[in-house]
Amino acid sequence: MSRFWSPIVDTLRPYTPGEQPREGGLIKLNTNENPYGPSPLALEAIRNETGNGLRLYPDPEATELRAAIAASLGLKADHIHAGNGSDEILAQAFLAFFCGKRPVVFPDITYSFYKTYCALYAVEAETVPLDETFRCDPQDYRRPCGGVLIANPNAPTGIALPLEGVEEILRQNPDAVVLVDEAYVDFGAESAAVLVPRYDNLLVVQTFSKSRSLAGLRVGFAIGQPQLIEALRRVKDSFNSYPLDRLALAGAKAAWQDRDWFERTRQRVMVDRDRTAEGLKAQGFDVLPSAANFLFAAHEGFAAERLWKGLREQGILVRHFSQDRIRNRLRISVGTTAECDALLAATGTLLNK
Amino acid sequence: MSRFWSPIVDTLRPYTPGEQPREGGLIKLNTNENPYGPSPLALEAIRNETGNGLRLYPDPEATELRAAIAASLGLKADHIHAGNGSDEILAQAFLAFFCGKRPVVFPDITYSFYKTYCALYAVEAETVPLDETFRCDPQDYRRPCGGVLIANPNAPTGIALPLEGVEEILRQNPDAVVLVDEAYVDFGAESAAVLVPRYDNLLVVQTFSKSRSLAGLRVGFAIGQPQLIEALRRVKDSFNSYPLDRLALAGAKAAWQDRDWFERTRQRVMVDRDRTAEGLKAQGFDVLPSAANFLFAAHEGFAAERLWKGLREQGILVRHFSQDRIRNRLRISVGTTAECDALLAATGTLLNK
């Protein structure tokens, strides 16, 4: 530790994102990207914005994007907050709602960035074990706390919590913000956005990275009642007034409005997910029921880390986590039909070696 | 204040960016944007990146951009940190270097976001008055402190501190980080980047928003020795792994490498700045000597706020600050030659009314 560092720097637990390989030719099933590319209308909107106008600051309020999202949800723009990916919004939400309070509660197996935020803001984390089938029991969240974090569908399990379960957690914690992280919701779970008008403690967070295939553009948003959105705005304007550039604002708005592309591509991902899950099961894998664009699979006869390495050698990247309870599993993003086939062929080969 | 808010939210002092008008036809001289548009090579690089590749996450390390910047400065990539505009980097630097320490010191008249960061991180601010000519005396920064912030050229004064002055502050504070915010440096000041190899307490922050005319793309960077850069990286990876999207990374790299466009446009801005300053002086304005892309001017016979309103009525936006010591001044960004002429004509008309 350098004498120049703030004391907190040494206590940080920086998040390690999945590998972004610089070499080409790999089948990249390790960071849950969408195989189908963004809406052509989004690309066109970005091209139209690529000109001298980039000399000007973007709209710090993301007015048009927020209005577009709000309109399709039957809400107002002051129910929507936009940010540089949903990670930035999670970071803002921790500061806005969880600092200087009781511990925040989240499952033992979930998005690992939550612990990073706890370290960043000196918020105590209280983890609740998922049951032995990796399911979340809403009853476990009936406890005094400073806030609740639920990824729905959960990551890396892919398992969805039904809307009644989310609502149960909301009812049990009327004085704490319940943040529902819906990064993967469009691949088969029910969004809690419909509950926003009825629960002032609900913040739903979504992203353009997965179902809108814009991981490279960095856009996320939150949905909540205006007093929650106002806190996020204050935090944003105390950190960086313009986290969304002009190209991201234009591209995201167009992607949001292209419902047809969104529907077609997410359906294809879901079809290939279910087919790949069946294929893996036929090879002896235990595959959790996924409502996301990835599968979480284990094989009794083959250590996950060995499988991970074997796939890497065949040019297929998947994600392996070292956390105890899940170290025998691999998280496999759903690729194109051909990529899913290549994966099944590769696992088949490895298992038969 | 909502019962859901963290206690700190109520103590934040959100920054208010300059107006970004939604109506067209205005002459916008209020947020120090560059009138000449970005490098055509930057626009081409963005267009080339606008495709299916946006489905993939960007490089979280901004490897190519950092290498390009480092190469031209005779440094290594581990001397460079990239972020979503220099504001984000300032926010990261406050957390990385100034938290839980003695007060940070900066001039009474400077970029107002510094106070916002102090509130965000509960860092005490100790302001040092500029002298009566709005100059910074390095001797004033010889004091025990947790860090020093120097905008060079300063904003909104536009006055530059010579490199010897910066070096004096660095020598006087060997155990505190001296952050030199060089947002406007390319319009006539000397960059402290050349001092980085010799001072382990120096962090230089620059932006693509002004001299590279990419305010709409949100890219900034810091230059410092690796132990400072490492702290910024840890903070970034505890907040948001990918603050720079693929289009921003590609556009910034190309803009950085187009030295010719950079030189030509900044020279034009400087020529028009000096000419406009002379024109304003001829109208009786007191104009501070500017090394930036804006002028800071006062007129004895005309209250700045009245002038600001009068210009607004004529479709010309400039910036007025309500802070006591500078409420009689206007900050006027340097526009195109024609825009500068329009400004001079408008002030002439108002003064003769």
pLDDT digits (tens, 9 = 90+) for A248-306: 999 999 999 999 999 999 999 999 999 999 999 999 999 999 999 999 999 998 999 99
DSSP SS3 for B197 = coil
Q: How far apart are CA B253 and CA B243, in angstroms?
A: 15
My answer on whether omega of the bond before A156 falls inside 30° of 0, hence cis, is: yes
Specify whether A28 is located in the same domain as A128. Answer: no
| pLDDT at residue B308 in the model | 97
- What integer best gives the mean pLDDT of chain B? 97
Specify whether B247 is located in the same domain as B268. Answer: no
Enter the tokens of residue A189. Answer: 């779970």
| pLDDT at residue A19 in the model | 81
Work out the number of other CB atoms within 10 angstroms of the CB of residue B153. Answer: 25
Tell me the average pLDDT across A336-353. Answer: 96
Specify whether A238 is located in the same domain as A122. Answer: yes
Specify whether A88 is located in the same domain as A210. Answer: yes
Specify whether A194 is located in the same domain as A292. Answer: no
Residue A177 has its nearest CB partner, among B4, B33, B175, at B4
Q: What is the CATH number of the domain that holds A17?
A: 3.90.1150.10
Residue A57 has its nearest CB partner, among B20, B46, B235, at B20
Q: Which of B258, B275, B297 lies at the terminal end of a domain, its last residue?
A: B258
Residue B217 has its nearest CB partner, among A9, A31, A245, at A245
Q: Return the closest-CA partner of residue B192 out of B129, B140, B148.
A: B148
pLDDT classification of B21: cutoffs 50, 70, 90: confident
Q: How far apart are CA A169 and CA A164, in angstroms?
A: 9
- What integer best gives the mean pLDDT of chain A? 97
| Percent of chain A whose predicted confidence (pLDDT) is above 70 | 100
* Residues A75, A194 contacting (CB under 8 angstroms): no
Would you give the DSSP letter of residue B10?
G
Beta bridge partners of A203: A179, A224
Cβ contacts below 8 Å, chain A against chain B, sum to 279
| pLDDT at residue B16 in the model | 87
Contact residues, chain A, for B227 at CB < 8 Å: 2, 4-5
The chain A residue lying nearest B100, using CA atoms, is A6
* Residues B34, B187 contacting (CB under 8 angstroms): no
Q: How far apart are CA B306 and CA B241, in angstroms?
A: 46
* CB-neighbour burial class of residue B53 (10 A; exposed 0-12, middle 13-18, buried 19+): middle
B24 within some domain: yes
Q: Which of A207, A240, A258 lies at the terminal end of a domain, its last residue?
A: A258
Contact residues, chain A, for B207 at CB < 8 Å: none
B20 within some domain: yes
* Residues A27, A276 contacting (CB under 8 angstroms): no
Tell me the average pLDDT across B286-304. Answer: 97
Put simply, the answer to whether A56 touches B20 (Cβ < 8 Å) is yes
B188 within some domain: yes
Q: How far is A109 from chain B (nearest CA, A)?
A: 19
A251 within some domain: yes
Least confidently predicted of A328-332, B18-22, B103-107, B293-297: B18-22
Tell me the average pLDDT across B237-246. Answer: 97
Contact residues, chain B, for A269 at CB < 8 Å: none
| pLDDT at residue A18 in the model | 81
Summarize pLDDT for B118-128 with one digit per residue, the tens: 999 999 999 99
* Residues B96, A59 contacting (CB under 8 angstroms): no
Tell me the average pLDDT across A109-136. Answer: 97
The chain B residue lying nearest A202, using CA atoms, is B4
B154 within some domain: yes
Specify whether B22 is located in the same domain as B161. Answer: no
| pLDDT at residue A98 in the model | 98
A1 within some domain: no
Is 80 exceeded by the pLDDT of residue A238?
Answer: yes
Q: How far is A352 from chain B (nearest CA, A)?
A: 32
| pLDDT at residue B25 in the model | 86
Enter the tokens of residue A224. Answer: 């909540």
Q: How far is A52 from chain B (nearest CA, A)?
A: 4
Specify whether B278 is located in the same domain as B237. Answer: no
User: Which pTM value belongs to this model?
Assistant: 0.97
| pLDDT at residue A20 in the model | 81
For chain A, how long is the longest CA-to-CA vector? Answer: 59
Specify whether A22 is located in the same domain as A134. Answer: no
| Count, residues in chain A | 353
Q: How far is A172 from chain B (nearest CA, A)?
A: 15
Contact residues, chain B, for A238 at CB < 8 Å: 12-15, 116-117, 119-120
Is 90 exceeded by the pLDDT of residue A48?
Answer: yes
Is 80 exceeded by the pLDDT of residue A22?
Answer: no
Put simply, the answer to whether A7 touches B36 (Cβ < 8 Å) is no
Q: Which of B217, B243, B258 lies at the terminal end of a domain, its last residue?
A: B258
The chain B residue lying nearest A250, using CA atoms, is B216
pLDDT classification of A23: cutoffs 50, 70, 90: confident
Is 90 exceeded by the pLDDT of residue B71?
Answer: yes
B1 within some domain: no
Specify whether B242 is located in the same domain as B295. Answer: no
Put simply, the answer to whether A6 touches B96 (Cβ < 8 Å) is yes
| Percent of chain B whose predicted confidence (pLDDT) is above 90 | 96
Q: What is the CATH number of the domain that holds A82?
A: 3.40.640.10
| pLDDT at residue B232 in the model | 98
Specify whether B61 is located in the same domain as B121. Answer: yes
Specify whether A14 is located in the same domain as A124. Answer: no
Summarize pLDDT for A189-212 with one digit per residue, the tens: 999 999 999 999 999 999 999 999
* Residues A73, B233 contacting (CB under 8 angstroms): no
- Does the predicted interface ipTM exceed a cut of 0.90? yes
* Residues A157, A296 contacting (CB under 8 angstroms): yes
| pLDDT at residue A338 in the model | 97
Contact residues, chain B, for A248 at CB < 8 Å: 245, 247
B2 within some domain: no
Is 90 exceeded by the pLDDT of residue B199?
Answer: yes
The chain B residue lying nearest A35, using CA atoms, is B55
Specify whether B177 is located in the same domain as B56. Answer: yes
Is 80 exceeded by the pLDDT of residue B22?
Answer: no
* Residues B184, B209 contacting (CB under 8 angstroms): no
Contact residues, chain B, for A177 at CB < 8 Å: 4
Summarize pLDDT for B326-353 with one digit per residue, the tens: 999 999 999 999 999 999 999 999 999 8
The CA-atom distances, in angstroms, between A57 and each of A202, B102, B243, B267 are: 32, 34, 17, 22
Summarize pLDDT for A144-183 with one digit per residue, the tens: 999 999 999 999 999 999 999 999 999 999 999 999 999 9
Question: In chain A, at which residue ranges do the beta strands (DSSP E only) sit?
Answer: 27-28, 80-83, 104-107, 125-128, 147-151, 177-181, 202-207, 220-224, 285-287, 294-299, 316-317, 319-320, 329-333
Give the domain range for residue A230.
40-258
Contact residues, chain B, for A123 at CB < 8 Å: none
Identify the H or E element spanning B151.
strand B147-151
How many domains does the structure of chain A reveal? 2
